[in-house]
Chains A and B, each alone.
Chain A
Amino acid sequence: MTGPEERGGISDRTGMLAAILIAPAVAYIAAMIGVPLVMAVLYSLSDATTGDPSHHYAGLVNFRAALADPVFRLALKNTFVFALLSQSIVIVLSRLLASALATPFRGKWAVRFLVMLPWTAPIALGAIGWLWMYDSIYSPFDWLYRRAGLLGKPGDLFGAMSNIYWLGRPTLAMASVVIVHVWRLLPLATVIQLAGLSAIPGEILEAAEIDGAHGWRKSVWITIPLTLPIVAIAFLFGIVFTFTDMTVVYVLTRGGPVNATQVLSTWTFFKGIEGGDLAQGAAISLFMFPVLAAIAALLLRMARRAEVT
């Protein structure tokens, strides 16, 4: 660069200025994300507790203890089950919803506002709404089933008890958590899919129509292949959010009944913060890291490919 860049003064020396401007953000990220990440690793290799946070190297004892713990193994399995199951459902539903929202109709803003609510409202408060819907006595679902004659009398389809106890039975509690994850991430995936759909050039679709591709044919041969990268992005971010989420399980079940819905994040919290075993908690949380690193690598590859095209 010549010309205006050559005037004196610090604010005009390019390389220097570029470094000075970016330094505060980089320093903050290093101090508040980088250092804690390293600390988490150090904690996991120590015997630190809330009562005695000093470090004594303890090797892999925390990781061994975690792997030997049946609750940890259940939490690990649940974390994968919740994330994969809910996001598979979300991908299908968000495509249906996105294609509906892509067509013009009256009252679109109101509809959009309503279907986006689960993402735009704080999740802890949404989850509290669900907790009241899953209530063991006053659940509106149970009331509907009772009215429909499916519940509450001997011989009824859902049993003779007057209530389902959504969060009281292991399998149902797991299903309840998955439903809330689907509800929460459907809006985000939908908006991402909408962006993908609107990016398909109109002439491609017109050409397909002229060649006689309608309905499902158009989907299978044109829209699905063309939007595959964006669907993958929606899926990967959905996995990140569900895989690392603690709020839904914490608010709905606290990991119960009898640890049936425990996930890595809640187990980290109960062990590390409530139980005071920092070292054990840190080790449990680090089991999330390989998955997140793999997702980061995938996203990077996709970003690079997007730059090439």
Chain B
Amino acid sequence: MGGIRKNLERGGLYARLLLFVTFSAFPFYWMVIATFKRDHDLYAPANNPFIFNEPPTLSHLRTLLSETHFLTYLSNTFLVGAAVAAVTLLLAVPAAYSLARWARRWGEILGIGIFLTYLVPPTILFIPLSRFTADWGLQNSLWSLILVYPTFTIPFCTWLLMGFFKAIPRDIEEQAMVDGLSRLGALVRVVLPLSISGLLTVVVFSFTLSMHEFIYALTFISDSAAKTVSIGVPTELVRGDVFQWGPLMAGALIASIPVAVVYTFFLDRFVSGFTMGAVK
């Protein structure tokens, strides 16, 4: 009786999911095809663009790895991401702990104020910040990015960590302090080990957001040797006006997928930061 209806519902569900998966993932499928397709096959408008009409090739990957700065972009991205994660932890952990434990009225306001600075976009800040970096001689240096990227990691991560610390009962520190630890000692030895997953979340966000960033990197860095993948791939893999689509797509694909896998694990935490306790 209900069997047919159930099957129809199931079918409808899978159809819907298939449509969405196609829409979301097709550009990445398109990258995979271009990465392994021979130029002769790639640049033939009559050929079916969705499949390999000729045997696939690794030549684009070879070009990307040997004839471009792609590996340099990757290592730059990694250095910047790691440094930004470290700076974010150093500043956001104490701030979040302070807000979580001693926030009275002013602390509440300060906490929300810190979160609101997340809404001030790079597109307003990048003109003055480009002057700062020029004045301090940081143009074309990774330091300019390490200095500026915490502007979008610290507000968000402070907010997130505050939630983590609030979830840890105060009695645990009280107990540690009765046992002779100072307040800071209790923070370092008792609270931080309990919030490892929160700290890990902060590291993952700082890293991925640094990797995704485009405007500052585009504005501050013009030297190919100091570029990150987000700007290196779109701006450098073009010869004159000619896009080298094979290597370009290979670069986009290699730089996208690993970070996407890690980020997917942490998405729910990311969202809890946005919903600001609206979902309990």
Q: Is the CB of A120 within 8 A of B231?
A: no
Instruction: List chain A residues, Cβ under 8 A from B122.
Output: 244
| Docked CA distance A163–B73 (Å) | 35
Q: In the complex, what's the smallest C-beta–C-beta distance from A9 to chain B, in angstroms?
A: 6
Q: How far apart are the CA atoms of A283 and B71 in the complex, in Å?
A: 38
Chain B residues within 8 Å of A103, by CB: 13
List which B259-280 residues lie within 8 A (CB) of chain A: 259-261, 263-264, 267-268, 270-272, 274-280
- Nearest B residue to A132 via CB reads B245
- Which A203-254 residues sit within 8 Å CB-CB of chain B? 229-230, 233, 237, 240, 244-247, 250-251
Give Cα distance in the complex from A138 to B234, angstroms.
18
Picked from B45, B112, B117, B147, the residue with its CB within 8 Å of the CB of A300 is B112
CB proximity of A103 to chain B, nearest CB, Å: 6
Q: Could you say which residues of chain B place their CB within 8 Å of the CB of A230?
A: 275, 278-279
Interface residues as binary, A173-190 with B (CB distance below 8 Å gives 1, 0 otherwise): 000000000010011100
* Docked-complex contact B234 and A125, CB < 8 angstroms: yes
CA distance A15 to B17 in the complex (A): 53
Q: Please state if A285 and B123 are interface contacts (CB–CB under 8 Å).
A: yes
Task: Count how many chain B residues have C-beta atoms less than 8 Å from C-beta atoms of the other chain.
Answer: 103
> Does A24 count as interface, using CB distance less than 8 angstroms?
yes
9-residue interface stretch from A29-37, A65-73, A80-88: A29-37
Contact A43 B278, CB 8 Å, known A103-B13, A132-B34: no
Please measure, in the bound complex, the distance between the C-alpha atom of A192 and the C-alpha atom of B25, giving whole angstroms: 20
Interface residues of B in 225-278 (CB under 8 A from A): 229-231, 233-234, 243, 245, 248-249, 251-252, 255-257, 259-261, 263-264, 267-268, 270-272, 274-278
Determine if B196 is an interface residue (Cβ-Cβ < 8 Å).
Answer: no
- Picked from A34, A188, A278, the residue with its CB within 8 Å of the CB of B131 is A278
A113 to B21 alpha-carbon distance, docked (Å): 9
Interface size class of A (residues with CB under 8 A): 35 or more
Contacts of B42 in A (CB 8 A): 138
Q: Is B102 a contact partner of A14 (Cβ separation < 8 A)?
A: yes
Contact of B252 among A35, A40, A129, A268 (CB under 8 A): A129
Contact assessment for A116 and B234 in the assembled complex, using a CB-CB cutoff below 8 Å: no
Nearest chain B residue, comparing its CB with the CB of A96: B16
Known: A33-B151, A138-B42. A124 touches B97 (CB 8 A): no
> Given the complex, which residues of A lie within 8 Å of B261, measured CB to CB?
113
With A129-B27, A129-B30, A186-B24 already in contact, the answer to whether A28 and B278 are too (CB < 8 A) is no
B interface, over-half SS: helix
A138 to B259, CA, bound (A): 29
Say how far B114's CB is from chain A's closest CB, in angstroms.
6
Identify the closest chain B residue to A29 (Cβ).
B117
Task: State whether the Cβ of A53 lies closer than 8 Å to any Cβ in chain B.
Answer: yes
Is residue A122 contacting chain B, with contact meaning CB distance below 8 A? yes
Contact of B275 among A96, A192, A288, A289 (CB under 8 A): A192
Q: A239-279 vs B: 1/0 string, CB under 8 Å?
A: 01000111100110000000000001100110011000010
Among B43, B50, B229, B280, which residue has its beta carbon within 8 angstroms of that of A122? Answer: B229
Q: Please tell me which stretch of A153-161, A164-172, A291-299 contacts chain B, meaning at least 4 of its Cβ atoms lie within 8 angstroms of it.
A: A291-299
Give the complex CA separation of A168 and B107 in angstroms: 52
* Nearest 3 interchain pairs by C-beta: A244-B121, A25-B95, A121-B256
Binding site for A on B (CB under 8 A): 13-14, 16-17, 20-21, 23-28, 30-31, 34, 42-43, 45, 48-50, 90-92, 94-95, 97-99, 101-102, 107, 110, 112, 114, 116-117, 119-132, 147-148, 150-151, 154-155, 158, 174, 177-178, 182-185, 208, 211-212, 214-215, 218-219, 229-231, 233-234, 243, 245, 248-249, 251-252, 255-257, 259-261, 263-264, 267-268, 270-272, 274-280
